[in-house]
Amino acid sequence: MLNQTLKNEIKRFRHYLHQIPELGFQEIKTQAFIKSELLKLSFEVEEVAETGLIALKRGKENQAIAFRADMDALAVHEKTNVDFISTHEGRMHACGHDGHMSILLGFASYISNLQLKKDIVLIFQPAEEGPGGAKIIIQDGYLQKYHVEKIFGLHVYPEIPEGKIGLTDGVLMGQAGEFDITIHAISCHGAMPQNGVDGIYVASQLIQTYQSIISRNVNPIESGVVTIGKIRGGEARNVIASKIHLNGTVRAFNGEIYDLIKKRMEVINKGIENMFNIQVEMVFRDLYPPLVNDHHFYLLMKKILKEEEIIKLKPIMISEDFSYYLQTVPGYFLMLGSRNEELGYTYPLHSCHFNFDDKILYRGVELYIQICEELNVF
């Protein structure tokens, strides 16, 4: 379906973008490169959400189908040995967004000379890793402006093999939130703990009690996660710590379970305060809602793909702000297998060693072409 010239272009896109990773809302070089490539292809291009882009290829009707790629990188020191390694110290495309952008640019190249029956909108979105660019694009009215009726996206996924496509009928990813907690205890000499309140001990009680939420408050057939990923506190080995900082995340597939976890955390905080006569201060931020794929487009994907290509996925607890698009218009988000044990492409997303074979990107472009053909866009 793709000629060698286009495959070489997709490879060029990926290798260049991989070398210039930028964090969310800092994608200046990335935006400039993508804009330059799209203008060469005669797309109408608009800058959105600070460092994002929307590209339009007009068809006979102004009803549009959209495809989205995320742009941002992670604060990770790359430890691959590729010859196109990151040139930005402490920044890496460790979640495959360089691949997603390259797929969309390759797709743009493919359709650039086609006559379309409907508009095609390409969304290059910043800050998926946080704080989130999708919501801004939606709130600023760009889906309505470009008459977007349906939207598609994908993610490279090293948990399934190359050549396989991961699908779900309904929920694919969980709802996410994050919290920062400060325990205000009472410092004293470590040899006389009765004169203070030990913040480290209080923190240990808080963490253990949080873990009872999932095991004792959530229905066993439902799922949820409460993770404390970072603790900071204490000044010296012989001083009772007065202030402890905890940072963590909450995940759930079901919005009601997510809300239950939040409420139970608040109740536990109050109980800990009363038990130790100290203050527990919590700031909770709701992040992305669950990503729920449309049933109609699940059936469409099953029709497009060969049976041996498909892997039916169970929901996964990572989160994606593509979920906001799916709350606004129907669409589908699929997982593009990248695991290749022979070549050593087995490291997980966000690993400093994460990498994949460029050839999986060709299949990504072909998927978008197949979707358009099935929807009679060209």
Task: Tell me the catalytic residues.
Answer: 70, 129
Residues 364/183, Cβ–Cβ less than 8 Å: no
CB neighbour list of residue 74: distance below 8 Å, 6 or more residues apart: 21, 23, 91, 92, 93, 94, 95, 129, 350
| Nearest residue to 156 via CA among 351, 3, 337 | 337
Residues 331/294, Cβ–Cβ less than 8 Å: yes
Strands 171-173 and 165-167: unpaired
Tokens of 140: 């600023």
Rg (CA), the chain: 23
Residues 367/154, Cβ–Cβ less than 8 Å: yes
- In angstroms, the CA 333 to CA 369 distance is 15
Distances (CA, A) of 241 to 195, 201, 276: 12, 9, 14
Tokens of 230: 């970072």
Coil vs helix vs strand at 340: strand
Residues 70/344, Cβ–Cβ less than 8 Å: no
* Chain centroid offset of residue 60 CA: 34
DSSP code of residue 194: G
Tokens of 250: 């909450």
Instruction: Looking at the chain, list the stretches that DSSP marks H as alpha helix, in order from N- to C-terminal side.
Output: 4-19, 28-40, 97-111, 134-139, 142-145, 199-212, 255-276, 295-304, 322-328, 359-374
Maximum distance among all alpha carbons in the chain? 81
